[in-house]
Amino acid sequence: MTEATRPDLYVVPTPIGNLLDITLRAIEVLKSVDLILAEDTRTTGKLLKHLEIQRPFQSYHIFNEHKTVERLIERMLRGEQMALVSDAGTPAISDPGFLLVRAAREADLIVNCLPGPTAFVPALVNSALPNDRFTFEGFLPHKKGRKTRIEGLKEESRTMVFYESPHRLMKTLEQFKEAFGEDRIVCVSRELTKVFEENIRGTLQEVITYYTEHPIKGEIVITLAGK
């Protein structure tokens, strides 16, 4: 790689559960950069220790990204090379990162996003729902705008993919049932790539019944059939 094409910022996906899913290229990048930007330094610290990587790292998360972007851009303009990671998966996909990538591009810095783990892809494939065309909706609003967002998807014909937390899963499934009907096919994927990975597929009513009787743990991806 010549100096002219040397990336200033790497966006580096990290495992969503199974640490073996880190790529050789990701390891190489993390070993070489001047600074690693981490969503949670404790989580990233464990990963770096596991990979036997000793590089400087600091926090970059949703609560400080607006304040830190300008300073980080200035450091990259002075020649520092950085890698951005999230706690799991690909940064900027329902995680911090978009603001930094946009600012880097606007500053004519070179950004390089590595391919790698992201939760919605295995969930979508595991769902056995059509995946030639789909829409990624990420997290629904917690309160304001939530019902409006769901209502706006009633005519969506593509497969829909959502991220959700365990304590809001039942609420979301019930709201989907109300909006899309109890017979709409859905797949709930949790603990992806881990030992207890689970993909529960059926009608909304069947999946609601299942989770009424079974504990809900781990991060969740919901894949919902289109109209």
For 120-224, CATH gives 3.30.950.10
Cα separation, 44 vs 41, whole angstroms: 5
For the chain, what are the domain ranges? 3-113, 120-224
Place of tokens 């937390």: 165
Question: What's the pLDDT score for residue 2?
Answer: 43
Q: Are 85 and 22 in contact (CB under 8 A)?
A: no
* DSSP type of residue 168: G
| Tokens of residue 32, six digits | 């070489």
pLDDT band at 65 (very low <50, low <70, confident <90, very high): confident
Question: What's the pLDDT score for residue 6?
Answer: 85
What is the mean pLDDT of the segment spanning 62-75? Answer: 91
For 3-113, CATH gives 3.40.1010.10
Instruction: Name the 3-class secondary structure at 65.
Output: helix
144 has pLDDT over 50 = yes
Residue type present at position 38: A
Question: What average pLDDT does the chain have?
Answer: 95
16 has pLDDT over 90 = yes
Cα separation, 213 vs 144, whole angstroms: 30
pLDDT band at 171 (very low <50, low <70, confident <90, very high): very high
Q: Are 107 and 33 in contact (CB under 8 A)?
A: no
Give tens-digit pLDDT for 93-132. Answer: 998 999 999 999 999 999 999 999 999 999 999 999 999 9
Cα separation, 139 vs 173, whole angstroms: 13
Place of tokens 């002075």: 78
- For the chain, what's the residue count? 227
Q: Are 12 and 26 in contact (CB under 8 A)?
A: yes
64 has pLDDT over 90 = no
% of the chain surpassing 70 pLDDT: 98
